[in-house]
Amino acid sequence: MAFEKISTTIEKSLKRNQIRDVVKISLPANELNKVGVRDAINAKYDAEIIGNNLFIKFDGGESSSNSKFVQSAKTRLVHRN
């Protein structure tokens, strides 16, 4: 699973769980242990990674992880138009 696919999985989960304070996303441990994947996830989402679970604080744009998600979504919309 490439980082792009993991990122898509994370973004879909965040969109489905916007009313939660913390979103837990389980991913295959073997994918999270690949070189650079954890760093890429932290750079984009500022997630806590425990085992094969990601925990992302989702608080209406106030946290850095949610702000990064919102910025990522805005960037995608700009590039599509």
Which residues sit opposite 48 in a β-bridge? 55
Beta strand segments in 1-81, E: 22-26, 48-50, 53-57
- Position 74 scores a pLDDT of 52
Q: Within 13 Å, how many C-alpha atoms sit on residue 38's CB side?
A: 13
Output the pLDDT for position 80. 47
Written as tens digits, the pLDDT of the chain (81 aa) is 578 888 888 888 888 887 778 888 898 878 887 878 888 888 888 788 888 888 888 655 454 555 555 555 555 544 444
Tokens at 20, concatenated = 């939660």
